[in-house]
A and B are shown apart, each in its own frame.
Chain A
Amino acid sequence: MISRREFMQAAAALTAIYGTTTPLGSLNAKQKITEDDLLGLKPYGNVTLAHLTDIHAQLMPVWFREPSINLGVGEAEGKPPHLTGADFLKRYNIEAGSADAYALQSTDFLKLAKQYGQMGGMDRIATVLKRIRSERPNNTLFLDGGDTWHGSYTALQTKGADMVEVMNALKPDAMTGHWEFTLGEERVQEIVDSLPFAFLGANIFNNEWEEPAFEAVKMFERGGAKIAVIGQAFPYTPIANPRWMVPNWSFGIREDEIKKQVASARDKGANLVVLLSHNGFDVDRKVASRVKGIDVILCGHTHDAMPEPLKVGNTLLVASGSNGKFISRLDLDVDKSGVKGFKFRLIPIFSDVITPDKDMTALVNKVRAPYEKELNRVVGQADGLLYRRGNFNGTVDDLICDALLEQRDAEIALSPGFRWGPSLLPGQKITVEDIHNVCAMTYPAAYRTNMTGQQLKDIFEDVADNLFNPDPYYQQGGDMVRVGGLGYTINPKKKIGERITNMTELKTNTPIDLKKEYVVAGWASVNKDTQGPPIWDVIEKYLATHTPVQVKANDGIKVIGM
């Protein structure tokens, strides 16, 4: 394993890359950044891991505002990735207003968006991968952390086929999954059987006899090193997403199973053990502290982007962002005795800087062509910035809640705390594609039902505990459920049942009566046979009479105790 001296060397190497060699952080104008600044890395060691995760079917460049509130609790409080704004910039020594600041944080988002442009795009990602592979032909593993086949109009229409075709062209060596499973067991199995690479899930079992349902681990040889990649799918898929869509598969963190797979990989002579994970960052941090022998965890699910790996014991945790904004490149020096050192770069995919790969542009155009007219159909216009990320609310969900309240004639609206979905700039035309980017899914029914105040409180307490339980193994990722027509006060540090107080009906400014029934509209229920129109129809109808759409952020949510 890495000795202290070796780690210091690795740390020095990291500083060299991040601080001085190519000081991306000090570049402050678009025209000054070149493709070489982003991609020109001096190769190091004998193994390169390229990590892409949580792209949520975003084939095209996007605007994506990172969260301004991302609270950590328990041991994670105040630690990466739970830093935002100036705290984040200070921790990573990033200059305010720089390209990295724009890519990684929300401060001055609008101003910097105009300066640095969109991020992502599969044709830009293809360019980055081609270059890495050309420099490191026999050393590179490209690993996809999942949430790949879901999150867009075309992915929904093709049941993930557009993403499968595009990803196959990028030739990943392995992937794991989460939202993939919302295509249903049969479709997932059909795709997995067709993939020219491994779909790994060491924590997925047939729930009748507890037998493995997927390949757990795949061994590779790169640069003379034997590499074991263990796949870890999102542990709470059948809880956070509909159980009925994956009736025969059981998930879970299954720490003992990870231990078993690590030991088995070492027995088989692995010099490098990689966990390709969709656990979420805090869960992975705990896994790293309890399971010995994992060299690298490639983290996904919680959409964090960190400019440096975080070291827990001898394990490097890499967090590579979401929606196609970043690819992580981790160069490792690996010999028989293990990892000797590393160099790392979180590569920001600046769409205006990185040349699109022609073949991939053509392929993306091809998979989108049958839907192009509908994708581009304009249904409204944004007035202010529409974004989703943040622990408690975002203007995209405020818009969705407004649409639910009006179109479903409800007193209170609920919108799930998803972390996927790009942003829209003020004045931007809203297309069918834009709407689907924030709500495309296989269980979209916008229900209307009666709930008592107590039921609402129970839901908020339950979701808050999934987000703020001090033990990461009880966290499910995602953010707090979004609300319309209702305000509350939350203390994340309290226990379940005690976090939510002062629930208020905003229209009348009266306290929510726990015994009274309220008319509630929402979407994305995990219950089978939920009735209602698809959420995108609700939004489209609302926009038809509210454009440019004025969205008032819900200011009825107060956070205390942090």
Chain B
Amino acid sequence: MKDLSRREVIVLGSTAAAAIMVSPTMAFAEAKPAKALLEKFTGGKSIATGKIKLEMPEIAENGNTVPLTFTVESPMTEKDYVKRVIIIAEGNPRAEVATFNFSHLSGVAKASSRMRLAKTQNVVAVAELSDGTFYMAKTEVKVTIGGCGG
């Protein structure tokens, strides 16, 4: 997998003066199977569904640059905010795509980026909330040969 350049991790779409820190270095980390990655991220805690929404195309127009946007429902106050969101591409040679760090000063827990997908696979986004709970969204993105519609 190609390393993420600055351009690729540019955070689009967030109008709030969000102090969003992106950790592209995470993408350089050693490839780990998706399950192990999740366990490390949650410390083995259970993950609920809901609260986080992951928007990606059902079928990628270009597997080399697939847009994604996630939004986590949260008041983003000092007492109740989103700490981190990890994006995992289950079928990529390196499953770990990026981790987005937030604080209550971020305003909203929302970010957009682009990623490379090697093949048809599930993409997973998991949010860690300030109360230590975890929420997950999962979507299948198809990477096709294409060419016969009509």
Spell out A's residues near B (CB within 8 Å). 178-179, 207, 209-210, 234, 236, 238-241, 243, 250-253, 256, 416-420, 458-459, 462-463, 465-466, 471, 473-474, 476-478, 481, 496, 524-526
Contact = CB atoms under 8 A, between A and B. Distances in A.
B58 A466 contact: no
Contacts of B140: 474
Given A210-B12, A478-B148, A525-B147, A243 B62 contact: yes
Interface in B1-60: 12-13, 55, 57-59
B138 interface: no
A474 B55 contact: no
Contacts of A458: 145
Interface string B126-150: 0000000000000010101111111
Given A240-B148, A240-B150, A243-B61, 10 more contacts: A239-B61, A239-B144, A239-B146, A241-B149, A250-B61, A250-B67, A252-B57, A458-B145, A478-B148, A525-B147
B74 interface: no
Nearest to B120: A496
Nearest to B55: A256
B145 A477 contact: no
B58 A239 contact: no
Contacts, number: 84
Given A236-B59, A252-B57, A252-B61, A420 B144 contact: no
Prevailing SS type, chain B contact patch:
loop
Contacts of B112: 210
A462 B149 CA distance: 12
A152 to B, nearest CB: 15
A473 B12 CA distance: 26
A477 B150 contact: yes
Contacts of A419: 150
Given A210-B67, A474-B142, A417 B148 contact: yes
B57 A179 contact: no
Contacts of B58: 252-253, 471, 473-474
Interface centre among A178, A209, A252, A524 (most CB of B within 10 A): A252
Given A210-B67, A252-B58, A526 B150 contact: no
A178 B149 CA distance: 10
A467 to B, nearest CB: 9
B61 A466 contact: no
13 contacts: A207-B61, A210-B67, A240-B150, A241-B149, A243-B61, A252-B59, A418-B150, A462-B144, A465-B144, A466-B144, A474-B140, A476-B146, A525-B147
A240 B142 CA distance: 13
Contacts of B150: 178-179, 240-241, 416-420, 477-478
Interface residues of B, number: 20
Interface of B: 12-13, 55, 57-59, 61-62, 67, 112, 120, 140, 142, 144-150
A252 B142 CA distance: 12
Contacts of B62: 238, 243
Nearest to A256: B55
B59 A239 contact: yes
A234 to B, nearest CB: 8
B143 to A, nearest CB: 10
Given A419-B150, A478-B150, A210 B13 contact: yes
A236 B149 contact: yes
A494 to B, nearest CB: 15
Contact of B149 (A209, A256, A466, A471): A466
B147 A474 contact: no
A210 B67 CA distance: 9
Contacts of A243: 61-62
Nearest to B140: A474
B12 A251 contact: no
B55 A476 contact: no
Contact of A477 (B13, B144, B149): B149
A240 B61 contact: no
Nearest to A478: B149
Contact of A526 (B59, B120, B142, B147): B147
A145 B75 CA distance: 42
Interface centre among A210, A462, A478, A526 (most CB of B within 10 A): A462
B12 A239 contact: no
Contacts of B55: 256
Contacts of A234: 149
Contacts of B120: 496
Nearest to B53: A256
Contacts of B142: 465, 474
A462 B145 contact: yes
Nearest to A461: B145
A212 B52 CA distance: 25
B59 A476 contact: yes
B59 A474 contact: yes
A210 B112 CA distance: 10
Contacts of A239: 59, 61, 144, 146-147, 149
Contacts of B147: 239-240, 416, 463, 524-526
B148 A251 contact: no
